[in-house]
Amino acid sequence: MSLQFGYKALTVAVVSGLAATTAQAAGLDRSGQDITAFLQNGTYAEAVYTYIDADVKGKDTVGNAVPDMANSYDFFRYGVKTDINDTFSVGVLYDEPFGASVQYKGVNNFVSQGGDNTITSLTNGRMPDLATAQNSLLRLNAGFQGLANINQMLQDADPAFAGFLQAQKDEIEQRILTATGTNNLQEAQAAATRLGAAINASKTAEIQKDEGTSVDIRTNNITMLVGAKFGANKNFQIYGGPAAQRLNGEVKLRGTAYNAMTGYDARIATDTAVGWVAGAAFYKPEIALKAALTYRSEIEHNSTIAEAVPALATSTNRDFSVSLPSSWNLDFQTGVNPTTLLTAKVRYVPWSDFDIRPPSYGAATQRATGTALPIVSYAKDQWSAELGLGKKLSDRLAVSGSVGYDSGAGNPATSLGPIKGYYSVGLGAKYNITPEWSLSAGGKYLKFGDAEAQLPTKAIVGKFEDNDGYIVGVKLAYQSK
């Protein structure tokens, strides 16, 4: 015997995948790019508010405590759709799919402790303070200038005087080699250049004393969808449309964890670019079955980025491009009995193909390491899944529960987001204010996986363990069938 649920009863129970508490952890993922508002029957509109507070703390490599470095943040999502007729539907969705909000605090290697501390770290303890480093560089530069002068004099020197000049040259060379701990003048010149870069970084660190590493990246997305149902009972639907995405961001690196890149600043100018969305869905209303697979394309942003690299004493404003990744979302629901609904969500994002490569950052790291490095990259792709159960308690009230898993994007993880995925458990409730209007609220607890913080150079700079967070959200929805 088939189960006759009826849409009106079923939507009361659809809260286990409560959109008010959707959030992801891998890479820069935030909203999960949910499109289920478009899959609703009739005319539908929703406004969703989500607040996320994560506690991500740990220790740097020398054992200093790193207090909670993950800022709390919130975002909105809106959706509206309507059926033109029994075949065609249109909808517009807004969300904030990708982002990051990081602020390091305390006394540790991710916070600037001043110029003396920085020069000591960058020279591996050879320079006890900034003044000593500056004096050493002055003497080295004077030595190199002296060698240049002697070489010029040797070209025209009387043979009787040449021996004296050569002895002076040998003495100066030996002093330079001893001071730099190198074996030849070419290596000594490179060492002097590195010392100059360290001094520039240390001077900036003194100005930035007590400032912590921070990241603020935000995106805004508007998706326009058109869908067409087909089949004898209109059980199948295909849909698609353009997605316009706006991006801006700011990164500040502070503290000795970032070596010669300490003090680095970058600001990405706001850019809007367009991608596309396509998907297919299957419906069987008599058992409340609904399944949809949605693909979102990669979106490439071409903008400018203002960078300041203290180690090189440079500030630039150059062309910059970054591609935010594609994704696959699977949404599924089915009735278990006339008052119970089972839901499932699966999401895949290929974060291993993503990186952020500011040009001046790359040039500086190439000078230091021989390779132009990205400021952020990820080792693995993200898989996330959530399983939920909604229960109708009355014509007005339904409750739900869910469990979830997010794989993260690899461990070691970037120091700008040292989390290795999470496990989650959530509770939600939905109340029908009128037959058309409903209010949903819910919360999730997240248990984050332990992660080592890693620089693009592959150096481990911290360990973050025993961290968790929570999400709360509220959704106001209208539906007229």
- Answer yes or no: is pLDDT of 151 > 90: no
Give the pLDDT mean for 414-432. Answer: 93
Percent of the chain with pLDDT over 90: 77
The structure tokens listed for 105 are 């605090």
How high is the mean pLDDT of the chain?
Answer: 90
- The interaxial angle of helices 130-156 and 115-122, nearest 10 deg, is 50
- Answer yes or no: is pLDDT of 312 > 80: yes
- Answer yes or no: is pLDDT of 58 > 90: yes
Residues 372-381 have pLDDT tens digits of 999 999 999 9
DSSP output for 299-357: EEEEEEEEEEEGGGTEEEEEEEEEEE--EEEEEEEEEEETTEEEEEEEEEE-GGG-EE-
- Answer yes or no: is pLDDT of 290 > 60: yes
User: Is 475 exposed, middle or buried, given 0-12, 13-18 or 19+ CB atoms closer than 10 A?
Assistant: buried
Predicted TM-score (pTM) of the model is 0.90
Residues 163-215 have pLDDT tens digits of 787 888 888 889 888 888 888 889 999 889 889 999 999 999 999 999 999 99
Give the pLDDT mean for 286-290. Answer: 93
Q: What is the pLDDT of residue 18?
A: 46
Picking from 354, 254, 250, the residue whose alpha carbon sits closest to that of residue 307 is 250
The structure tokens listed for 434 are 């009128």
- Answer yes or no: is pLDDT of 236 > 70: yes
Distance CA 442, CA 79 (A): 19
Percent of the chain with pLDDT over 70: 94
Q: What is the pLDDT of residue 16?
A: 37
For residue 398, give every residue at least 6 positions away whose Cβ sits within 8 Å of its Cβ, in sequence order, or none. 12, 13, 14, 15, 390, 391, 392, 429, 430
Confidence band, pLDDT 50/70/90 cuts, at residue 15: very low
Q: What is the pLDDT of residue 339?
A: 92
Confidence band, pLDDT 50/70/90 cuts, at residue 156: confident
Residue pair 399/390 in contact (Cβ under 8 Å)? The answer is yes
